[in-house]
Structure formats: structure tokens, C-alpha cells
Structure 1
């Protein structure tokens, strides 16, 4: 589930670039994403309640805490989409991927223990793959914008906080309810920065609607729900490594949809990241296969 949530996030940069090409602004993109995502998630929550789903014993204070912490998801969108505006997409995704080591460091601080050597090795492998995929080691290095670099690193930090929140807070709530509460906080933040003028200026009818729906589904509905299910079960460190799947998906989408040139060295970076993800889950995969084989033999 964490892997699929990361893949869903990887699709976003392509949609955002296409929306920018049609003349829509950062406020349009981020505003419609949280607006439609909020509607979708709360509709799901209400349908579950109408179908007789049991309510949790989570206190109002903890729910309010989730709303407040949900601002991190809004900040990820704002900072990352602003970064995409100011630096090449390959560099933007490279900066966002810094959440891998940030998450490992945060997990070490909160758990008060050093990360495993295997985790450090996998993060190094992910960062090396990220550098190759971002053409960081090529002789034709894209031009850097200092403000864009700052936005990208801020997006990575906020994404780290988002992953940590999903693993630590509100786990007694159903994932859709938890995600809806967090997105409520994100929507309040985004609308306070970018008033939702798209609701009255005709932008939705002029093509913004499709981008809002796509961005909300793949950016604010699927990933939070999938992360809410998966992260509490596997922990922040492994989740950060699995979330690196976002980069290969972003590269594939830029190649297939945007028709951008993808160099062989970038594919090598993608392969390294996939290898790191496979290594991170090797014990779990092997254990499950061994259990399934034993069960089949016994029966």
C-alpha cells in the first residue's frame, strides 16, 4: 500500500506541468487538488457511516490535532508545485527525494536509536539512484535556481512530517476518516494562502476541472488512505524507502506522456531505486513465500 501510494504521488508532476502549460496558476492547481479531494474523502466517510460503519473512540482533541497536522500535506503541494515552476522537473523530483534521509533521521530522533546499517545502505542506494535519475552527475547539469532549491527542500521536509504523522497519530481512526481530517487542515491552509477564486472566475469550465479531479484523486485521496493503512504496520524508515518509488513513476510519466528525453543514466538510476525497494522488502517477501510454501505442502 505504501508503494502504491508513492506511485500515485509520482504521477502528479506530469499533471501539474500539463496544467501549467494550459495557463493555470499555482493557486489554481493546489486549490482544486485539496478542494475536490476534500469532497471525495468526506463523501466516502459519510457513506461509510450511512452503511453502519462503527465509529471510533478517538477524542475530539486528537481529531483536532490531525486537522492541524494535516497542514503538512498542503505545504508539500505548495512548495513542490512552486519548485516545479522554478527548476527543471528532474531537479525538482531530486530535491523532493531528500525525504528519504530526512525520514530516517527523524525516525532515529523520535525513536532515540540509531538507524540500522541496512537502512542507511538502502538510503544511500536510493540517493545514488536519485542523483543518476536527476542527471546530477552528467556534464550537462540543468541550471539551478536557489529559490527553487529552497522550495524543493521545504517540500521534502514537509513530506517527511506527513509520513511521520501517518505512522504515529490517529491510528484508531479508519484511514478514510483520518485522511479526511488531515485534508481539512490542508484545505484551510491552502485557501488562506490562495483564496479559491477558481470557484467563481470560470476556470473550472475552461479546463481546470479535469486537472483538479486528477490531482485530487492521485494526490490527496489515494496516497493518504494507502499510507494510513500501510505506514503504521511497517514503520517510518521502511516507508521512506518504499516511497522512493515516486521517482521511477515520475520519470516514466515524463517519458510516456510529456515525451521528454530520458537518458540511459536516468534509467540506471530508476533501476537502482527499484533494487533498493526490493532489498528493503526482501525479508518480508521471502518470509511470506516460505509461509505460503509451507502451507501448500501441509495441505
Structure 2
């Protein structure tokens, strides 16, 4: 039970970290930076941080104990390919954030909830439990309220919706593949390999020309560091540790915590107006997540 609780907590924490990103991205756009610059700097700095931490930890472990080495059956290039999905999530989601309000972008990304459960059932034949289905329904209802869809001024941007739903699909594929590939590798190494794949696909789509245009003191690198830490370093690491302990479906639902975090950040950080109905939606989502996690912990006791 303790292991399942720890896994759920780590996935929840990773989702909270991911929920802060939309506010930082909005700030970056207001400062005049482009999608390619934002995603490129985030992936590049995230890759440097993760590989740096991995090399330091590996050196310290070798100096302490150079005896047994854990057998690794996973080919590292496969983990790099998994990293393509979070790379595409960042590109599609940040493009969505540019085209629609942050709260709507989160709602579109939240569609990974039911997509992940369908993928889990279709590929691995894991039937969702009745409590999971009910909780997903509650979360979706709460999400609609939290996004302010009932507001009369709500407008739909088709291009933004397309990129948001594409980000949701990529996120679902990341959840599925990350939970099933590379679990025999050290967590830091797995995260570093995934971010390397994300960096490669990002630079293929957006060549890193900003290296030649910006100096090292440019504010983009400060914003990029925050994005790298909260969106590239922490979530993949926490998901890599937590997801194998609790499974795909529960991971997808716990990851919904990013929505209330995003709404809260938009209110306190971006100073955006958040209606009472939106706060009620946030409370509904948090209640559903708490109920589901409590039920699973009780079941595993």
C-alpha cells in the first residue's frame, strides 16, 4: 500500500508541476518570444540538467560501490523514441496556449483522460473499473466548469482546438509508453534519454537558430530554465517513478491535477479573472481525485 501511495503522490506532484507551465508560456509570448524559441530552450536546458544530474549520481554511486551492475534489457534508443511524445506534447500544447485562453488549452489537453483509458483497454486489455469511469465523468464535468465554458463570452478557435486535442493524444501515448518501456533503467537515465528524444524532435521541427541570436543573459534562458525544471525535468522523472507503481488508468486520472493548478496560477500569477463557477469546478476535480486515490489505497490495504 505504501508503494502505491508513493507512486500516486509522485504522479500527482508531477501533474502539479506541469500545470504551472501555461502561465509561464503566456509570459514568454508576451515578452515576444516564438514557439520554436520557447520549446527549444526548454528541451535543451532540460536535457543538460538531466544528463548532468545523471552523470553526477552515477559517479557518486561508482565511487561508493563498484560491485554488481543491474542487467538492463531495454535498448536505450527505444527510450529516446518515447521522448518524441513529450516533445510533441510541448509543441502542440504551447501552440494551443498561444491560440486560446490557458483554461481552454488545459481542458483540451485533459482529453487525454479518456484517450489513455481507451488505449490501455485496446492495447493491454485492462478494463477500467466502474469507479474510474465515474470519476473520469466527474472530472470532465468539473473541468468544463473550471474552464468557464458556461461563460457567455466563450469563443472557440478551431486551430487551437486541433493543437490541443493533438497534444492530448501525444500525452496519452507518452503515458502509455513511459509506463511500459525502460523500467529496468535507472530513473534518471530513463528521463535523460526521453528528454534527449524530445530535444531531437523539437530541433528537427524548429532548428535552434536562437543560439546565434540571443546572448546568455537573455530573459528567454531564465524563462526556459523554469519551463525546463517544471515541465521537462520534474514531471518525466516523477512519472517514471510513479506510473509503474499505480498503472496507466490511475496515472491518467491523477494527472488531472494539472487543471486546478493551471487555473490557480492564471488567477494569482497572470491576474486573469476566474469566476466562482470555475472555482467550483476546481473543487469538484480535487474531490474526485481524492476520492479515487482513497478508494484505491483502501483496496490495497
**TM-score (ref. length: structure 1):** 0.92
Q: 2:90 matched to which residue of 1?
A: 77
Structure 1 residue 265, shift from structure 2 partner: 0.6
The alignment status of 1:58 with 2:72, answered yes or no, reads: yes
Q: 1:13 matched to which residue of 2?
A: 22
Aligned counterparts of 1:115 and 1:284: Cα–Cα separation in 2: 13
CA contact (8 A) 1:37 1:221 kept: yes
Question: What SS does the corresponding residue of 2:121 show, helix, strand or coil?
Answer: helix
For residue 196 of structure 2, the aligned residue among 184, 189, 214 is 184
Q: 1:271 matched to which residue of 2?
A: 283
Question: What SS does the corresponding residue of 1:57 show, helix, strand or coil?
Answer: coil
The alignment status of 1:256 with 2:268, answered yes or no, reads: yes
1:204-283 paired onto structure 2 within 5 Å: 204-283=216-295
Aligned counterparts of 1:111 and 1:259: Cα–Cα separation in 2: 43
For residue 24 of structure 1, the aligned residue among 26, 29, 33 is 33
Residues 168-209 of structure 1: CA deviation (Å, up to 9, x unaligned):
111111111111111111100000111111212016533111
Residues 75-122 of structure 1: CA deviation (Å, up to 9, x unaligned):
000000000111121211110000111111111112224311111101
Q: 1:108 matched to which residue of 2?
A: 121
The alignment status of 1:33 with 2:46, answered yes or no, reads: no
CA contact (8 A) 2:82 2:178 kept: no
Residues 39-78 of structure 1: CA deviation (Å, up to 9, x unaligned):
000011101111125754224x621111112100100000
Residues 116-152 of structure 1: CA deviation (Å, up to 9, x unaligned):
11111011011111110111223332x2111110000
Aligned counterparts of 1:232 and 1:216: Cα–Cα separation in 2: 23
Aligned counterparts of 2:30 and 2:90: Cα–Cα separation in 1: 18
CA contact (8 A) 1:108 1:114 kept: yes
Structure 1 residue 278, shift from structure 2 partner: 0.6
User: Which piece of structure 1 moves more, 4-13 or 63-72?
Assistant: 63-72
Aligned counterparts of 1:203 and 1:20: Cα–Cα separation in 2: 18
Q: 1:161 matched to which residue of 2?
A: 173
For residue 107 of structure 2, the aligned residue among 87, 91, 94 is 94
For residue 149 of structure 1, the aligned residue among 161, 169, 189 is 161
Aligned counterparts of 1:285 and 1:113: Cα–Cα separation in 2: 19
Q: 2:58 matched to which residue of 1?
A: 49
Aligned counterparts of 1:272 and 1:36: Cα–Cα separation in 2: 36
**TM-score (ref. length: structure 2):** 0.92
User: Gapped runs of 5+ residues in structure 2?
Assistant: 1-9, 63-67
For residue 153 of structure 2, the aligned residue among 123, 135, 140 is 140
Aligned counterparts of 1:135 and 1:56: Cα–Cα separation in 2: 50
Aligned counterparts of 1:57 and 1:107: Cα–Cα separation in 2: 28
Aligned counterparts of 2:140 and 2:84: Cα–Cα separation in 1: 27
Q: CA RMSD in A?
A: 1.5
CA contact (8 A) 1:241 1:276 kept: no
User: Gapped runs of 5+ residues in structure 1?
Assistant: 292-299
